[in-house]
Chains A and B, each alone.
Chain A
Amino acid sequence: KDTFEGHQVLRIVPKNDVQLSLIKELEKMIEFELDIWMGVTDAFSPVDIRVPSHTLHSFKSYLENFNINYSTMIENLQEMLDREQEEMDSAAR
């Protein structure tokens, strides 16, 4: 079973068209192994991206280099998945 220990989901809100195009470029940058949960639409609309733990540091540095603000929507994805599974199991019982 695939696990997602340490994966984070970051929420990025582009504040102008420059940031918008920088974030659009991210979708093509395979080295970060990003999983786009909610894609780029327009400035001020959130973009949610799952980032694996092993690229998290470099990805955050990339955002910070371009002064792109982000918040952490999900701190540790696996913890949430474990909670979801526990909830399903206990409801089934």
Chain B
Amino acid sequence: VGQPRNTDSFDYARYHPINEIYSFQDMLVAENPNMVSKLVIGQSYEGRPLNVLKFSTGGTNRPAIWIDTGIHSREWVTQASGIWFAKKIVKDYGSDPALTAILDNMDIFLEIVTNPDGYYFTHTSNRMWRKTRKPNPGSSCIGVDPNRNWDAGFGGPGASSSPCSETYRGPRAHSEPEVKAIVDFVKSHGNIKAFISIHSYSQMLLYPYGYTTTPVKDQAELHQLAQKAISDLTSLYGTRYKYGSIINTIYQASGGTIDWTYNQGVKYSYTFELRDTGLYGFLLPANQIIPTAQETWLALMAIMDHTHKNPY
């Protein structure tokens, strides 16, 4: 009762527990066997599958775009937007010329629930949970901030060494299976051209670096592309975003996701902070999911289109 039978009847305007997201992914694969497949790139600490949807129209090891949502589990609008993006990709392929051109030449990988243990925990025990769920030996505090656990300035300023902190970096880089799975995937794929990691909520589009003030060598291009992406995003509902490097726009943060991907050679590495109405924080009402996803999609398209048109 109440379960959607297909992805057309799925309710995109509400938040879903993890089992419903897993069902959504399976339905989308079943409905689009020639375009969508599900890869399991690893297991979370508690043994949940780390599912990645692969959108591909053929070819072998094509250049690819990676998108992840929900690495901080309490940022529910990100997982909900990820679901909407997945449906949008299959709906628009063949009718949107830009997306069609991208998918005719590149693959898209989408990890909707990047921190499944944390997401499950936010639904069952603590809505405000942000970190992973692995215990820390010698401490009663649980979990690591998976956006401080990457091997890019790991252990430097802008991350905590205390397991009880919300920004605890973990005992060593890539200690978290949720992070290590992506690291292994990106390395073994070897042809990821854009990597976009989606967070909420402070309306920003950021590029590397977060751990150092040294500008990335592609700063001018990344900045210009961010400007275009945000201009497209703002055109829909007038939502205003800031953009720039992480360290200059927000604060110093070491061990961050896109600093690592950029250092691996993924030039178009970005991180989003989605919509903030100024009233709800992480509790963005469900009626904001679709507008948030719609406007974000425009920015994603700008980045994906640029990546497609500027091979390197």
Which residues in A have some Cβ–Cβ distance to B below 8 Å?
1-2, 4, 9, 11, 30, 35-41, 46, 48, 50, 73-74, 80-81, 84, 87-88, 91-93
For B11, give the chain A residue with the smallest CB separation: A91
Q: How far is the CA of A74 from the CA of B127 in the complex (A)?
A: 15
Q: How far is the CA of A91 from the CA of B2 in the complex (A)?
A: 9
Q: Are A91 and B14 in contact (CB under 8 A)?
A: yes
Chain B residues with CB under 8 Å of A37's CB are 281-282
Q: Are B124 and A1 in contact (CB under 8 A)?
A: yes
- Would you give the shortest CB distance from A1 to chain B, in whole angstroms? 6
Count of residues in B whose CB is under 8 Å from the partner chain: 25
Q: How far is the CA of A81 from the CA of B286 in the complex (A)?
A: 12
Known: A37-B282, A73-B281. A88 touches B125 (CB 8 A): no
- Would you give the shortest CB distance from A51 to chain B, in whole angstroms? 12
Q: How far is the CA of A17 from the CA of B166 in the complex (A)?
A: 25
Q: Are A35 and B128 in contact (CB under 8 A)?
A: yes
Q: How far is the CA of A48 from the CA of B250 in the complex (A)?
A: 14
Known: A1-B126, A73-B279, A93-B2. A41 touches B14 (CB 8 A): no
Q: Are B201 and A1 in contact (CB under 8 A)?
A: no
A1, A35, A39: the one within 8 Å of B250 (CB): A39
Q: Are A92 and B280 in contact (CB under 8 A)?
A: no
Chain A residues with CB under 8 Å of B23's CB are none
Known: A37-B281, A93-B2. A2 touches B249 (CB 8 A): no
Within 8 A of A (CB), among B149-205: 164, 166, 201-202
Chain A residues with CB under 8 Å of B128's CB are 2, 4, 35, 50
- Would you give the shortest CB distance from A49 to chain B, in whole angstroms? 10
Closest 10 CB pairs of A and B: A2-B126, A91-B14, A37-B281, A41-B250, A38-B202, A80-B283, A92-B2, A81-B127, A1-B125, A48-B281
Chain A residues with CB under 8 Å of B285's CB are 84, 87
Q: How far is the CA of A83 from the CA of B281 in the complex (A)?
A: 15
Chain B residues with CB under 8 Å of A11's CB are 278
Known: A1-B124, A35-B166. A84 touches B283 (CB 8 A): yes
Q: How far is the CA of A48 from the CA of B283 in the complex (A)?
A: 13
For B3, give the chain A residue with the smallest CB separation: A92
Chain A residues with CB under 8 Å of B124's CB are 1
Q: How far is the CA of A31 from the CA of B164 in the complex (A)?
A: 13
A-B contacts, 17 of them at CB < 8 A, read A2-B125, A2-B127, A30-B164, A39-B250, A48-B281, A73-B278, A74-B280, A80-B280, A84-B283, A87-B285, A87-B286, A88-B15, A88-B286, A91-B11, A91-B14, A91-B286, A92-B2
Q: Are B282 and A41 in contact (CB under 8 A)?
A: no
Chain B residues with CB under 8 Å of A9's CB are 281
- Would you give the shortest CB distance from A52 to chain B, in whole angstroms? 11
B237-252 interface code vs A (CB 8 A; 1 in, 0 out): 0000000000001110
Known: A87-B286, A91-B11. A41 touches B127 (CB 8 A): no
Chain A residues with CB under 8 Å of B282's CB are 37
Q: How far is the CA of A8 from the CA of B27 in the complex (A)?
A: 40
Beyond the given pairs A1-B126, A91-B11, 15 more chain A to chain B contacts, judged by CB atoms under 8 angstroms and listed by A's residue number, are A1-B124, A2-B126, A4-B128, A11-B278, A35-B128, A38-B276, A39-B250, A39-B251, A41-B251, A80-B283, A81-B283, A84-B127, A84-B285, A92-B2, A93-B2
For B14, give the chain A residue with the smallest CB separation: A91
A4, A35, A40, A74: the one within 8 Å of B251 (CB): A40
Chain B residues with CB under 8 Å of A80's CB are 280, 283
Chain A residues with CB under 8 Å of B276's CB are 38
Chain B residues with CB under 8 Å of A91's CB are 11, 14, 286
